[in-house]
Structure 1
Amino acid sequence: MKKRCPWAEVDDLYRNYHDNEWGKPVHDDRLLFEMLNLEGAQAGISWHIILKKRKAYQELFLNFDAEALLATSADYREHLLLEPGIIRNKLKIKAVFTNATAFLKVKEEFGSFDQYLWGFVDHQPIDNKFTTLSEVPAESEISIQLSKDLKKRGFKFVGPKIIYAYMQAIGMVNDHLMDCPCH
């Protein structure tokens, strides 16, 4: 009998995320933008915390609508630092707005953020064949290239490890272990 990736067995929140989202190819620009910013918010803390706070992030960051975010006032942005439902890190909060500007520029240049991102993997998920968690890398050549390009375009909190986790989350790489039913 196949079993889930071991990290997903922690609790129902992880199981649900693993079974219904993680590693499934995402092509919706809004969701791609959301996940990029959530992965950035996760830097230095547990993904579990971000998942628990995800609804608050969606509400406070206007469902990650980049144009709506950029239309907010300085007071609104400052108020986010007081919100207990999200990680109250000034640099991470500011990064969402910086990323919104860069995101819209990429969409304008490529037609969609999806076209831009998935071009790094020739528009096909990389299907890894790992059997143990210890085989799964923290970064890859592609995550390093994508990270450099995102930084060049003005994105923040997009280091190669964050970007590899992002690539896993949005299905650019399939790192479900071989004995996982989601593989």
Structure 2
Amino acid sequence: MADARDTDGVVVGPDGLARPAWAAVDELLREYYDTEWGMPVRDERGLYERVCLEGFQGGLSWATVLRKRPAFRAAFHDFDPDVVARFSETDVTRLLCDTGIIRNRRKIEGTVTNARATLALRDAGGLAELIWSFKPDRTPEPTTFSEIPTQSAESEALSKELKKRGFKFVGPTSTYALMEAVGLVDTHLVDSHRRGTSGIWAPAHLP
């Protein structure tokens, strides 16, 4: 029998629920998929965290980032932008010695830069208002994993706007992954048990 990870469509688990292959094997990814991925995130801290984690994920698997998320939260004070914005070079050097996180100087410095950019946005409506203003009129309706886009016109525009506002590691692919993760688009496969559960988008089979 083929490995579930090689399947392009949904995989029905022992619990009878259909998920994409990436969420069907690893217990941590399955829990994340079933309870968090694609659900609306509208608070500043939650969005700041996800912007930064998507940046750390570049070139790595999401499972790697997810396993390190508790350490990331400890290192960056639960992604409180008010605290992280005050980090100094001493803090960056300290974090480069933290084996619990991904020790990439540019990305650590980018997390500090993004905190400062987040604070600067407060006078212009805030990070949540900015990100959610790029919600598209329609969402994809993929039946297989290979049909899921990796970027869109909206993610390109969001990327450009975030860069303009001083954010780092926010290319159009990263911003599309962010949009998927926080509910701006619903790329759950049409046959997945999670399709339409965010309350933002109706399931594909409904009018």
Normalising by the residue count of structure 2, what TM-score does the alignment of the two structures yield? 0.83
**Which residue is equivalent to 1:121?**
135
1:163 counterpart = 2:171: no
Q: Secondary structure at the match of 1:68?
A: helix
Q: Please identify the structure whose Cα radius of gyration is greater.
A: 2
Using CA pairs under 8 Å that are at least 6 residues apart, name the structure with larger relative contact order, 1 or 2: 1
Counterpart pick for 2:163 among 151, 170, 181:
151
Which one has a larger percent helix, Structure 1 or Structure 2? 1
User: What percentage of aligned pairs have identical amino acids?
Assistant: 44
* Unaligned segments of structure 1, at least 5 residues: none
* Unaligned segments of structure 2, at least 5 residues: 1-15, 196-207
Distance in 2 separating the partners of 1:58 and 1:115: 23
**Which residue is equivalent to 1:58?**
73
The 5-angstrom pairing of residues 1-183 of structure 1 reads 3-110=18-125, 112-121=126-135, 126-183=138-195
Cα offset, 1:2, TM superposition: 5.0
Write the deviation string for residues 123-164 of structure 1: whole angstroms up to 9, x where unpaired. Answer: x8x532110001101100100000011111111000000111
Distance in 1 separating the partners of 2:127 and 2:95: 26
Cα offset, 1:93, TM superposition: 0.4
Asked whether the equivalents of residues 67 and 100 of structure 1 are also in contact (C-alpha less than 8 Å), the reply is yes
Normalising by the residue count of structure 1, what TM-score does the alignment of the two structures yield? 0.94
Cα offset, 1:173, TM superposition: 0.7
Distance in 2 separating the partners of 1:14 and 1:85: 19
Q: Secondary structure at the match of 2:19?
A: coil
CA RMSD of the aligned region, Å? 1.4
Displaced runs of 4 or more, over 6 A: none
Cα offset, 1:10, TM superposition: 2.4
Asked whether the equivalents of residues 102 and 153 of structure 1 are also in contact (C-alpha less than 8 Å), the reply is yes
Q: Secondary structure at the match of 1:120?
A: coil
Count of matched residue positions in the alignment of Structure 1 and Structure 2: 180
